[in-house]
A and B are shown apart, each in its own frame.
Chain A
Amino acid sequence: MAGPDGTGPLELRFPARPDELRGMRDALRERLRAWQLDEECASDVVMAVDEACQNVIRHAYRGEPGGVIELEVRCAGDELQIAVRDFAPPVDPARIRPRPLDELRPGGLGTHLIRSTMDHTEFVKPPSGRGNLLRMVKRFARRGAAGA
């Protein structure tokens, strides 16, 4: 079904590999433009989804080939509802919690970036029981809106 702006949800299914992320980001950017998100908000969403997919590649599939990521982004009013799904063995969310930022060391930043740009994030049990499902919500301003 078409959304309020003539575009339905974005649904992507792609191999869980670093070289697939650029195509995902391009497709997501294009859809966010169609939904008229302001540029800064769109950048944050693209980054958060990219970081969530990176967590899947690194922590769920642990770099093993053959994994798949399913991404769904839905626009409902002034809210984006995002779901990132994988089919890897369940990951303990504690393993990918944000690290304290005063420890200056490479890595571990992705989860912090997600939490600081999204309004809500939670791991839920996938409907079919397999894998991991991260739900994120972002409230957004449209391009050209007052205050944007």
Chain B
Amino acid sequence: MKHSVKEERGSVVVSFAGEVDLEHSPKAREILLEHVGRRRRVLVDLSEVDYIDSSGIASLVEAFQKAKKTGVGFALAAPNPAALRVLELARLDRVFRIFATVEEGLDAGG
């Protein structure tokens, strides 16, 4: 798993790439919680994520909950069909705000 972070139009875009699995999800969790803790809107770019498992999803849930508690915006962008399927099976597609593209996610922020 690789990741990168950039700030754009008032949002922090955290992009993951590769496999967010049991080996790498602790790192993903740490990165997400760190950025949510900075009280800036976080947009998680999943476009380059080939695989995400329940532990990766749990990292997203935990960051989402922390964001909600502290009034910070949190959304997902551009999951591939496999990632979207896992979110749907977990019935989290109705919990997270999910945008088709990073661009759309940025437009909706502020």
Contacts and interface: CB of A to CB of B under 8 A. Distances in A.
Contacts of A117: 89
Nearest to B25: A18
Given A47-B53, A47-B86, A57 B58 contact: no
Interface in A80-138: 101, 104-107, 109-110, 112-113, 116-117
Interface size class of A (residues with CB under 8 A): 20 to 34
A25 interface: yes
B62 A106 contact: yes
Given A21-B21, A50-B21, A116-B89, A110 B61 contact: no
Interface residues of B, number: 22
A57 B62 CA distance: 21
A54 B53 CA distance: 10
Summarize B's interface: helix, strand, loop or mixed. Answer: helix
B59 A113 contact: no
A5 interface: no
Contacts of A19: 23
A113 B23 contact: no
B23 A54 contact: no
B89 A113 contact: yes
B54 A104 contact: no
A113 B91 contact: no
A101 to B, nearest CB: 5
Contacts of B51: 25, 46
Contact of B90 (A18, A21, A50, A113): A113
Which 3 residue pairs spanning A and B have beta carbons closest together?
A106-B58, A109-B54, A18-B23
Interface of B: 19, 21-23, 51, 53-55, 57-59, 61-62, 65, 81-82, 85-86, 89-91, 95
Given A22-B19, A51-B53, A109-B57, 16 more contacts: A22-B21, A25-B21, A25-B51, A43-B82, A47-B53, A47-B86, A50-B21, A50-B22, A51-B54, A101-B90, A104-B61, A105-B61, A109-B54, A112-B89, A113-B54, A113-B86
